[in-house]
Structure 1
Amino acid sequence: MNYDEIRRRDWVWTYIEKEQALTLVEWLKGDDWSSTYELDKRLPSVGITWSSSFSTAAARAYEIHGFTELESTNVARRTAEAFMRPSKASSTPITAPADAPAPQDAYGFTPRR
C-alpha cells in the first residue's frame, strides 16, 4: 500500500474486531494451508470483505490490535515456512514400475548396474 491508499482508506469500514484478528492469528499458525491464496479465500467467512488479501488484513489487524504474529515480517516469515513445507504427496517415496525401461543419461546411454 502506498501513502495515498492509506490516506483514503475508510477506517471505520476496515476496522477489524479482536475476534477477527485472533482468527487471523489462528489461521497463520495453523498447518492446514500452503499458500496465501488459501488464506485469502477464507477472509469473507470472518466478515472481512473490504480486502481480498490476507496480508493486507493482517497488516490492518496489527495496526489496530498490535498482535506481533500479524506484523508484516512475521507474516512473511510464516508464509515462507509454509511454502517450504514438503507436500503430502512428496512424503511418500516414488518407485518406478517393474516394467519401466532403465534410465538413460543425457546422451541416451543406459548406465551399467
Structure 2
Amino acid sequence: MTTPPAGVRTLLRLEGLAVLIAALLAYAQLGAGWGAFALLFLLPDLSLLGFLAGPRVGAAAYNAAHSYLGPVALLAAAALGEWPVALAVGLIWCAHIGFDRLLGFGLHGTSGFGATHLGRIGRADPW
C-alpha cells in the first residue's frame, strides 16, 4: 500500500476524532451503561486473530471489523427497529474505529500487518 500524503493522513485522523466524539456524545445521550462500553470497546480487535491464518485472512477479518460499513448498517437497523441495544453496540463500534483512525491505525493490505491505508505501522522489517 502506498502511504498517503501527510495532509491526507492528518485529515483522516481528524475524521477519526470527529467520529469518536460524535459516537461518545450519542452514547452518553442514549443513557446506556459505561461498563458495557468499556467491555465492548476493544471487541473489534479480536479480528486481529485472523492474522494467525495469514495476511490475506487477517486483512479481510480486520478490515471487516474496522470498516464503517458494519456499524453504520447496525445503527440504521437499530434506528428503524427501535433496538436500543443494537444502537449502543453500533455507537461503541463506531467509537472504536474512530479511535483507531485517530491513532493512525488504518485498514490493512495483504502484504502484511504493518501496511495500512494510513501508512506503515510498527517497526520496519529488519530484513
TM-score above 0.5: no
Q: Which has the higher helix share?
A: 2
Structure ID, larger Rg: 1
Higher relative contact order (CA 8 A, sep 6+): 2
TM-score (norm 1): 0.30
TM-score (norm 2): 0.28
